[in-house]
A and B are shown apart, each in its own frame.
Chain A
């Protein structure tokens, strides 16, 4: 009887350890980013303040830079717009469209 108990105990402990190991290696990544950050990526705002806030969250988002540059342009802030185009070209210098915008060509 003692031998049976020991064997069953050993089995239970082993299965417990196995369960712990599998649980530790279980990947469960979060995919619920904040709504604001997601909105910046998918449907960015149109106003300068909103775009600047988004760009602060995603500093390498070239499309946000272009939107912001366009907003600056519309507001008459040519130098700020040009700075944004410059940042965008620095990130993606191979993009001819960005270079064209930086050069002020249509």
Chain B
């Protein structure tokens, strides 16, 4: 069969089974299951899962023609192998029709086992491909080829990403590097690339040398295949599994197995159609390995020249939907693989002095490259010291530079390991985060012993938690914003909290924590949730009738109640918008205007969420100069509907009896240091949120507040208790406090208080201190700490870490996390 057709057939087969494996792994991960799979946030995924058992027959259909030649004309062994595979597949297909297993996937061990087992069929097919392959004669790898391939790839990759810097520099928010700093970073990037690719060469050369001890030349091929599988497993473990919070042992097993299967599939196609070198001689192991994509010399040269364009395309395609650079890093891996492939193929076709290089010369040059690479970091430190320029601090410069150079960013993350106190802290954070399979009992969160009759009827409450809303896209927080006049007008009549922060990055724990009014065990979710749902207790106790958007969190964590009217029931969660919801809410309020009970309405519009924004038509940059146009356009749309609704409240006379809260569950990265979205990070732009609270005039005159003190999402529920005439008691540092106190009393003193902030989806935690001016982040996914300080203009600026920062913040972090664990009687497995 034709090489290209065979490649397509195997790619489709692999896509089905690897896709099944990926779905199982996402379902197995409790946070991915709770936040993406279960609420069906990506519409086509549940459809694909529902038809999974039917799609299987398509894989049989595309695989069948590729095996017919072996069944017809193969040797007895080949015929048996192909026939057995086909028979087993038909049997599996019939079994799947009766047992559509993917529909049962969830965060349990059975799903993990399924993730492993679903890779058996493609592995079996790869074995069949090897058995039915024609006999191939290999020759030994030439002396210089490995070295020239690795060295050429290092230069090609480095150059490709350096050439992209002028493109990224003006497009990356917050990266301001002087020419000297840029030159320093580009130099360090070069020597780092030389170092890593020299290591690749030395390891490959050692493997080939060991294989040469075996009489069969094919041993060289298998040695290289094994190395590829090992490299792939390392990348999956370090880049993918850690970002999805898989624990170490299961991560290594899954990464190893997936890598072996992928390499086997690739190898099967290679053996089926081994490439013939242009000189007509038999090829070596490298030629055979790259057979599935073996192009001609012109294509190879063109590919290397166009590598920057390929790298740009790979990054651009995924940047907005990325999971803190996960997809971009995989794109870099692909660029490295292409560069290695093309440089190795070109090395065979080169003549002259390069072809005459001996293996020993290659070894010496590789060791020299390693030494130069090792000297890079100390040399950069010396340059900074010698220049006397504090802005050339290598740690700071290279952190910033890695936002521009994706290849260097990946090199850094792959090479870096943690030891001592760092490793100890990250182990601690991992042991207390994204807790999947532990059983934990809820704690009772009672801000009051009992609800007492209030002197006045409780106010109506309208709570707008806009998903992913940044505060600097609202004019009350940023004078440069001209597209939110309604928010501006609303702010004039309200209290604008200038230092509002979310307790949790991302929605998964942020919204439940807002309802609880405090921090919770890092688990999605401790159930039953009702004992912890302080907001629900208030609504019950004060007799509120409720209007709530029908989203997966409300469905799971609020108990059904006859007092509840669900909004947006016919709308996909990702399509919840301010306009749609308030329009329905107005109609519902009009229809029940005679009901004397106080109103509580809550919605979480998702029109600013990255997954939703990528579906919108492109907005011209000129429409919102200085802002991300698509995001700004949605904020403007949201603002118009906020204005309409406030107008409605005023017209109906509800406004002067209502508490109206505009806030968000977290912010969003919009290009800062190349970051997009929020993923599991706690950068300043993710944890800073808007918080604007309108009070009825009668309440406003009776209370006071400090609007420039730290305010947290977990303060909202205690504040509602206080405003409803149910003064909440102080439950400790992990819980919120009312943001308003009776007039004449001093506002709560928080200046020296420290607040733990946590990511919803990963072992990333932060300490917020000094009245919100300092933010210290410990990121156990990436294995690094970061510190930010608020400057006079309100910007959060990255700081160089000091021992004092580390000592104080790490101690506080351990203390706060320990308090949560103690409250839930959770003891991590040592």
Residues of B within 8 A of A105 (CB): none
Cβ-based interface call for B783 (8 A): yes
Cβ-based interface call for B596 (8 A): no
**Per-position contact with B for A67-80: 1 when CB-CB < 8 Å, else 0?**
00000000000000
- CB-contacts of B781-827 with A (<8 A): 783-785, 789-790, 792, 794, 801-804, 806-808, 810
- CB-contacts of B661-714 with A (<8 A): 706-709
- CB-contacts of B404-418 with A (<8 A): 415-418
Assess A95 versus B708: contact at CB under 8 Å? Given A27-B418, A28-B420, A33-B803. Answer: yes
A38 CA / B811 CA spacing, docked (Å): 10
Asked whether B206 lies within 8 Å of A10 as measured between CB atoms, the reply is yes
Asked whether B419 lies within 8 Å of A26 as measured between CB atoms, the reply is yes
Cβ-based interface call for A20 (8 A): yes
Asked whether B790 lies within 8 Å of A27 as measured between CB atoms, the reply is no
Asked whether A4 lies within 8 Å of B213 as measured between CB atoms, the reply is yes
Residues of B within 8 A of A58 (CB): 804
A31 CA / B373 CA spacing, docked (Å): 28
Q: Give the nearest-CB partner of B416 in chain A.
A: A25
Asked whether A90 lies within 8 Å of B792 as measured between CB atoms, the reply is yes
A96 CA / B803 CA spacing, docked (Å): 31
Q: A102: shortest Cβ distance to chain B, in Å?
A: 13
Asked whether A92 lies within 8 Å of B803 as measured between CB atoms, the reply is no
The one of B377, B792, B806 in contact with A33, judged by C-beta atoms closer than 8 angstroms, is: B806
**Per-position contact with A for B383-421: 1 when CB-CB < 8 Å, else 0?**
000000000000000000000000000000001111111
A8 CA / B367 CA spacing, docked (Å): 17
Q: Give the nearest-CB partner of B709 in chain A.
A: A97
Cβ-based interface call for B374 (8 A): yes
Q: A100: shortest Cβ distance to chain B, in Å?
A: 9
Q: Give the nearest-CB partner of A62 in chain B.
A: B770
Q: A14: shortest Cβ distance to chain B, in Å?
A: 4
Q: Give the nearest-CB partner of B807 in chain A.
A: A33
Cβ-based interface call for B751 (8 A): yes
Asked whether A17 lies within 8 Å of B199 as measured between CB atoms, the reply is yes
Assess A21 versus B801: contact at CB under 8 Å? Given A27-B419, A27-B422. Answer: no
The one of A18, A33, A37 in contact with B203, judged by C-beta atoms closer than 8 angstroms, is: A18
Assess A27 versus B773: contact at CB under 8 Å? Given A3-B213, A17-B202, A95-B708. Answer: no
Asked whether B374 lies within 8 Å of A6 as measured between CB atoms, the reply is no
Assess A11 versus B206: contact at CB under 8 Å? Given A27-B422, A90-B792, A96-B707. Answer: yes
**Per-position contact with A for B359-387: 1 when CB-CB < 8 Å, else 0?**
00000000100100110010000000000
Cβ-based interface call for B498 (8 A): yes
Q: A47: shortest Cβ distance to chain B, in Å?
A: 17
Cβ-based interface call for A91 (8 A): yes
Assess A21 versus B708: contact at CB under 8 Å? Given A14-B206, A30-B803, A37-B804. Answer: no
Residues of B within 8 A of A17 (CB): 199, 202, 367, 370
Cβ-based interface call for B160 (8 A): no
Asked whether A25 lies within 8 Å of B415 as measured between CB atoms, the reply is yes
Cβ-based interface call for B205 (8 A): yes
Cβ-based interface call for B771 (8 A): yes
A38 CA / B199 CA spacing, docked (Å): 42
Assess A26 versus B417: contact at CB under 8 Å? Given A21-B199, A33-B802. Answer: yes
A96 CA / B374 CA spacing, docked (Å): 51
Assess A30 versus B751: contact at CB under 8 Å? Given A10-B209, A94-B498, A94-B708. Answer: no
Q: Give the nearest-CB partner of A15 in chain B.
A: B206
Residues of B within 8 A of A29 (CB): 420-422, 785, 801, 803, 806
A20 CA / B415 CA spacing, docked (Å): 11
The one of B209, B498, B802, B808 in contact with A42, judged by C-beta atoms closer than 8 angstroms, is: B808
**Per-position contact with A for B762-778: 1 when CB-CB < 8 Å, else 0?**
00000000110100000
Asked whether B212 lies within 8 Å of A3 as measured between CB atoms, the reply is yes
Cβ-based interface call for A63 (8 A): yes
Residues of A within 8 A of B195 (CB): 21
Asked whether B419 lies within 8 Å of A38 as measured between CB atoms, the reply is no
Cβ-based interface call for B450 (8 A): no
The one of A4, A26, A41 in contact with B808, judged by C-beta atoms closer than 8 angstroms, is: A41
Q: A30: shortest Cβ distance to chain B, in Å?
A: 5
The one of A3, A62, A97 in contact with B708, judged by C-beta atoms closer than 8 angstroms, is: A97
A61 CA / B771 CA spacing, docked (Å): 11
Asked whether A41 lies within 8 Å of B804 as measured between CB atoms, the reply is yes
Residues of B within 8 A of A11 (CB): 206, 209-210
Q: Give the nearest-CB partner of B808 in chain A.
A: A41
A65 CA / B195 CA spacing, docked (Å): 49
Residues of A within 8 A of B370 (CB): 17, 21
Cβ-based interface call for B651 (8 A): no
A58 CA / B751 CA spacing, docked (Å): 16
Residues of A within 8 A of B135 (CB): none
Cβ-based interface call for A93 (8 A): yes
A91 CA / B783 CA spacing, docked (Å): 31
A41 CA / B810 CA spacing, docked (Å): 13
Cβ-based interface call for A48 (8 A): no
Assess A20 versus B374: contact at CB under 8 Å? Given A31-B803, A61-B770, A92-B773. Answer: yes
Q: A22: shortest Cβ distance to chain B, in Å?
A: 6
Q: Give the nearest-CB partner of A41 in chain B.
A: B808
Cβ-based interface call for A24 (8 A): yes
Q: A78: shortest Cβ distance to chain B, in Å?
A: 22
Asked whether B209 lies within 8 Å of A27 as measured between CB atoms, the reply is no
Residues of A within 8 A of B810 (CB): 31
Q: B670: shortest Cβ distance to chain A, in Å?
A: 22
Residues of B within 8 A of A22 (CB): 415, 417
Asked whether A63 lies within 8 Å of B770 as measured between CB atoms, the reply is yes
Asked whether B367 lies within 8 Å of A38 as measured between CB atoms, the reply is no
Asked whether A66 lies within 8 Å of B804 as measured between CB atoms, the reply is no
Asked whether B419 lies within 8 Å of A28 as measured between CB atoms, the reply is yes
Asked whether B213 lies within 8 Å of A28 as measured between CB atoms, the reply is no
Asked whether A33 lies within 8 Å of B808 as measured between CB atoms, the reply is yes
Cβ-based interface call for B752 (8 A): yes
Residues of B within 8 A of A53 (CB): none
The one of A7, A14, A62 in contact with B202, judged by C-beta atoms closer than 8 angstroms, is: A14
Q: Give the nearest-CB partner of B420 in chain A.
A: A28
A24 CA / B419 CA spacing, docked (Å): 11
The one of B199, B751, B784, B803 in contact with A66, judged by C-beta atoms closer than 8 angstroms, is: B751
Residues of A within 8 A of B205 (CB): 10, 14
Q: Give the nearest-CB partner of A96 in chain B.
A: B708
Asked whether A31 lies within 8 Å of B806 as measured between CB atoms, the reply is yes
The one of A21, A38, A60, A91 in contact with B807, judged by C-beta atoms closer than 8 angstroms, is: A38
A4 CA / B418 CA spacing, docked (Å): 36
Q: A45: shortest Cβ distance to chain B, in Å?
A: 14
Which of A13, A26, A37 has the most chain B CB atoms inside 10 A of its CB? A26
Q: B266: shortest Cβ distance to chain A, in Å?
A: 25
Residues of A within 8 A of B213 (CB): 3-4, 7
Q: B516: shortest Cβ distance to chain A, in Å?
A: 28
**Per-position contact with A for B177-220: 1 when CB-CB < 8 Å, else 0?**
00000000000000000010001001101100110110000000
Q: Give the nearest-CB partner of B198 in chain A.
A: A17
Residues of B within 8 A of A21 (CB): 195, 199, 370, 373-374, 415
A42 CA / B422 CA spacing, docked (Å): 21
Q: Give the nearest-CB partner of A99 in chain B.
A: B708
15 pairs of residues in contact across A and B, judged by CB atoms under 8 Å: A21-B373, A25-B417, A26-B419, A27-B417, A27-B784, A28-B419, A29-B421, A29-B785, A30-B806, A58-B804, A63-B751, A63-B752, A94-B794, A97-B709, A97-B751
Known: A27-B422, A30-B803, A33-B808. 18 other contacts (CB 8 A): A3-B213, A10-B205, A10-B206, A10-B209, A11-B206, A11-B209, A14-B205, A18-B199, A18-B202, A21-B195, A22-B415, A24-B377, A27-B418, A28-B418, A31-B806, A90-B792, A94-B794, A97-B706
Which 10 residue pairs are nearest across A and B when measured between Cβ atoms?
A31-B806, A33-B803, A28-B420, A96-B708, A33-B804, A33-B807, A7-B209, A25-B415, A14-B206, A28-B419
